[in-house]
């Protein structure tokens, strides 16, 4: 029996007759949670979010309540800002896009509650430059919400004022990194800031306290207010609460986005029961579980994890790739991460040298160039992989690749360093024979190879 989806954020998305218009949203009970929130005290909402255990859906999985807790109203002499990170540029990830394009008012309602809770009067939605239509949809939704007084001055008859502006990026991956995003929003080149001291909660937008949250994270806020933090915390598993939108791309029969309670199903159940199995009945070779920067997991590997028994005690367990539950903690225990929820499935015909080369081209192009290990290293990894791929490998290239990657991770200003090093570190070690064969001039080990990384890449919209 396949595990049923738990559609909380995507409850109405793709339902026949459900539109982006405010009248439709109101018909389905929209903005009721905002009205409820406005009867509560801001700190009480923050307390509910802490109780809910909600972790950020943008990549790092950081506790949302704890992040909000860093904004200390008593110490603030400057205005507090909130930024919705709608950059969604991690390859393999396309969930925020579903929300923005098909249920924009849900995001606005979540943002309005988050802003009210944290005494924010000015917020921004920083949207990926390629989402031209998405920006237009959001702008229309903001105008509608203002006309109905769910945004603007005196929201829903209270004394609370809030303005939300949409800001379009120019299509750079690094603008998704929160401090790069803030620089870009300030009108500058998106060079990430060094932390400390530039933690957004302390020195964020215009050097003021700033909350940066992902689209999906902010949508969750309205559901936490609706059901209460304790009820929300019952969804999912302890420390991995709520639901998660998962984007599946690659070699499965039915790719797409799905929503499940966190940890409710394993990688194998997702591939076989939800996505119809591996394409053409072929064998599973590898999975990237959290967007292209997550470390690759190889079929046949064994992972040591901690698992909770029914009596509450913890036991050490060894599991295979298909048995990994899709939650933050277990994926971290496998050495990879839940990241942005983008799950890329690769079958036995994928040539790992070519897949990694494809990833490396992306990261070399997207490095902001501010720090030397990342700027030079990402380019060198791309060049080495290019020569391996095209039959011009050197015998020591495998070691060299690993060495370059090891000298990037942990040595840069922002986590892009890890994002570009982790794929290389994991692919080269786990599929060493494929890389060595190329390095020694013996060509691909695959008789019928299929090289490009099988991710969904949204086309630039021209609206
Ligand atoms: C290179 C890089 C790119 C990122 N891109 C995104 C992105 O496109 N969207 C996003 O929400 N978070 C992205 N993040 C994570 C953000 O820096 C930040 O942690 C997140 O927006 C916080 O929101 P959350 O706590 O709700 O997850 C990126 C991080 C890095 C290092
Ligand atoms: S790690 Fe890369 S992307 Fe991040 S600041 Fe340094 S050069 Fe820029």
Between 80-94, 386-400, 405-419, 436-450, the lowest mean confidence (pLDDT) is in 436-450
Length of the chain counted residue by residue: 463
Bond before 196 cis per omega within 30 degrees: yes
Q: Which ligand is nearest to the CA of 293?
A: 1
- The mean pLDDT of 27-42, rounded to a whole number, is 98
Render the burial of 258-289: b for 16+ CB within 10 Å, e for the rest: bbbbbbbbbbebbbbebbebbbeeeebbbbbb
Residues 6+ apart with CB under 8 A from 399: none
Q: Which ligand is nearest to the CA of 215?
A: 1
CATH of the domain at 277: 3.10.20.600
- Establish if 107 belongs to a structural domain: yes
pLDDT at 314: 83
Coil, strand or helix: which one is 308?
Answer: strand
**Cα 62 to averaged position of ligand 1 atoms, centre (Å):** 10
The set of protein residues with a Cβ atom below 6 angstroms from ligand 1 is 56-60, 62, 85, 87-90, 173-174, 176-178, 212-214, 217, 414-416, 419
**Cα 185 to averaged position of ligand 2 atoms, centre (Å):** 18
Render the burial of 349-361: b for 16+ CB within 10 Å, e for the rest: bbbbbbbbbbbbb
Indicate which residue's Cα is closest to atom 8 of ligand 2. Answer: 368
Looking at the predicted structure, is the pLDDT value of residue 334 above 70?
yes
Looking at the predicted structure, is the pLDDT value of residue 460 above 70?
no
- Establish if 424 belongs to a structural domain: yes
Of 305, 323, 347, which residue is a domain's last? 347
Looking at the predicted structure, is the pLDDT value of residue 308 above 80?
no
Nearest to 386 by CA among 363, 405, 358, 407: 358
pLDDT at 456: 60
How far apart (Å, rounded) are the C-alpha atoms in residues 400 and 290? Answer: 26
Q: From the CA of 372, give the closest atom in ligand 2.
A: 7
Of 315, 347, 379, which residue is a domain's last? 347
Between 119-133, 349-363, 388-402, 438-452, the lowest mean confidence (pLDDT) is in 438-452
pLDDT at 461: 61
Same domain, 342 and 363: no
Q: Which ligand is nearest to the CA of 84?
A: 1
pLDDT at 73: 72
Q: From the CA of 88, give the closest atom in ligand 1.
A: 8
> What Cα–Cα distance (Å) separates residue 302 from each residue in 130, 185, 317, 335, 427?
39, 44, 10, 11, 16
Whole-number average pLDDT of the chain? 95
pLDDT at 459: 55
CATH of the domain at 406: 1.20.1440.230
**Cα 434 to averaged position of ligand 1 atoms, centre (Å):** 32
More confident residue, 441 or 9: 9
Same domain, 179 and 36: yes
Coil, strand or helix: which one is 428?
Answer: helix
pLDDT at 306: 81
The residue to mutate among 177, 195, 220, having the most atoms of ligand 1 within 8 angstroms of its beta carbon, is 177
Of 290, 313, 347, which residue is a domain's last? 347
Same domain, 313 and 201: no
Same domain, 280 and 365: no
**Cα 176 to averaged position of ligand 1 atoms, centre (Å):** 5
CATH of the domain at 152: 3.40.50.11540
Looking at the predicted structure, is the pLDDT value of residue 34 above 60?
yes
- Establish if 78 belongs to a structural domain: yes
Q: Are residues 194 and 136 in contact, defined by beta-carbon separation less than 8 angstroms?
A: no
Q: From the CA of 370, give the closest atom in ligand 2.
A: 7
Per-residue model confidence as pLDDT tens digits over 84-130: 999 999 999 999 999 999 999 999 999 999 999 999 999 999 999 99
Number of H helices, E strands in the chain: 18, 13
For the entire predicted model, the pTM comes to 0.95
Indicate which residue's Cα is closest to atom 7 of ligand 1. Answer: 176
Percent of the chain with pLDDT over 70: 97
Q: From the CA of 408, give the closest atom in ligand 2.
A: 1
Find the domain containing 361 and state its range.
352-439
Same domain, 334 and 284: yes
Q: How far apart are the first and last CA of the chain?
A: 43
pLDDT at 313: 81
> What Cα–Cα distance (Å) separates residue 425 from each residue in 24, 338, 378, 402?
48, 18, 12, 6
Q: Which ligand is nearest to the CA of 411?
A: 2
**Cα 161 to averaged position of ligand 1 atoms, centre (Å):** 27
Same domain, 120 and 148: yes
Same domain, 80 and 206: yes
pLDDT at 451: 67
Coil, strand or helix: which one is 49?
Answer: helix
Max CA pair span of the chain? 73
Same domain, 264 and 413: no
Looking at the predicted structure, is the pLDDT value of residue 458 above 60?
no
Same domain, 357 and 412: yes
The set of protein residues with a Cβ atom below 6 angstroms from ligand 2 is 174, 192, 367-371, 374-375, 412-414, 416-417
- Establish if 3 belongs to a structural domain: no
- Establish if 457 belongs to a structural domain: no
**Cα 245 to averaged position of ligand 2 atoms, centre (Å):** 28
Residues 6+ apart with CB under 8 A from 178: 83, 85, 200, 212
How far apart (Å, rounded) are the C-alpha atoms in residues 291 and 95? Answer: 12
What one-character DSSP code corresponds to residue 271?
A: I
- Establish if 73 belongs to a structural domain: yes
Looking at the predicted structure, is the pLDDT value of residue 82 above 80?
yes
The residue to mutate among 181, 193, 365, 367, having the most atoms of ligand 2 within 8 angstroms of its beta carbon, is 367
Same domain, 309 and 402: no
**Cα 57 to averaged position of ligand 1 atoms, centre (Å):** 8
Confidence of residue 447 (pLDDT cuts 50, 70, 90): confident
pLDDT at 310: 73
- Establish if 460 belongs to a structural domain: no
Same domain, 54 and 183: yes
How far apart (Å, rounded) are the C-alpha atoms in residues 87 and 180? Answer: 11
Domains of the chain: total: 3
Confidence of residue 218 (pLDDT cuts 50, 70, 90): very high
Q: Are residues 259 and 7 in contact, defined by beta-carbon separation less than 8 angstroms?
A: yes
**Cα 389 to averaged position of ligand 2 atoms, centre (Å):** 26
Same domain, 272 and 129: no
- Establish if 85 belongs to a structural domain: yes
């Amino acid at each position: 029996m396949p595990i049923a989806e738990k559609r909380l954020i995507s409850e109405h998305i793709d339902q026949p007759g459900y539109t982006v218009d405010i009248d439709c949203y109101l018909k389905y009970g929209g903005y009721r949670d905002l009205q409820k929130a406005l009867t509560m005290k801001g700190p009480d909402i923050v307390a509910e979010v802490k109780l809910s255990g909600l972790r950020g859906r943008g990549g790092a999985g950081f506790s949302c309540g704890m992040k909000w807790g860093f904004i200390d109203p008593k110490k603030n002499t400057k205005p507090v800002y909130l930024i919705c990170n709608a950059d969604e540029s991690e390859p393999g990830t396309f969930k925020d896009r579903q929300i923005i394009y098909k249920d924009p008012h849900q995001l606005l309602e979540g943002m309005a509650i988050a802003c009210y809770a944290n005494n924010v009067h000015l917020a921004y939605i920083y949207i990926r430059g390629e989402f031209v239509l998405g920006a237009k949809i959001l702008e229309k939704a903001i105008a509608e919400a203002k006309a109905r007084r769910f945004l603007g001055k005196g929201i829903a008859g209270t004394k609370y004022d809030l303005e939300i502006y949409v800001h379009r990026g120019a299509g750079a991956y690094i603008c998704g990194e929160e401090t790069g995003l803030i620089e870009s929003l300030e009108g500058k080149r998106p060079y990430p800031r060094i932390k400390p001291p530039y933690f957004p909660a302390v020195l964020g937008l215009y050097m003021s306290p700033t909350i940066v949250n992902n689209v999906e994270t902010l949508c969750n806020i309205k559901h936490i207010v609706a059901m209460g933090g304790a009820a929300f915390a019952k969804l999912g598993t302890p420390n991995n609460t709520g639901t998660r939108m998962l984007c599946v791309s690659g070699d499965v029969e039915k790719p797409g986005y799905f929503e499940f309670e966190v940890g409710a199903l394993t990688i194998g159940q997702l591939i076989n029961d939800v996505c119809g199995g591996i394409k053409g009945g072929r064998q599973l070779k590898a999975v990237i579980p959290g967007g292209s920067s997550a470390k690759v997991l190889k079929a046949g590997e064994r992972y040591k994890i901690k698992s909770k028994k029914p009596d509450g005690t913890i036991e050490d367990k060894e599991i295979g790739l298909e048995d990994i539950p899709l939650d933050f903690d277990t994926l971290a225990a496998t050495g990879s991460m839940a990241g942005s929820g983008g799950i890329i499935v690769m079958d036995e015909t994928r040539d790992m040298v070519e897949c990694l080369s494809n990833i490396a081209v992306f990261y070399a192009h997207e490095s902001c160039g501010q720090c030397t290990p990342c700027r030079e290293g990402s380019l060198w990894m791309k060049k080495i992989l290019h020569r391996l791929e095209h039959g011009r490998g050197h015998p020591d290239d495998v070691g060299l690749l690993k060495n370059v990657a090891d000298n990037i991770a942990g040595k840069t200003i922002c986590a892009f360093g890890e994002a570009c090093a982790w794929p290389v570190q994991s692919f080269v070690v786990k599929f060493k024979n494929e890389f060595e064969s190329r390095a020694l001039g013996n060509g691909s080990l695959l008789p019928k190879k299929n090289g490009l990384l099988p991710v969904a890449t949204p086309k630039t919209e021209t609206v």
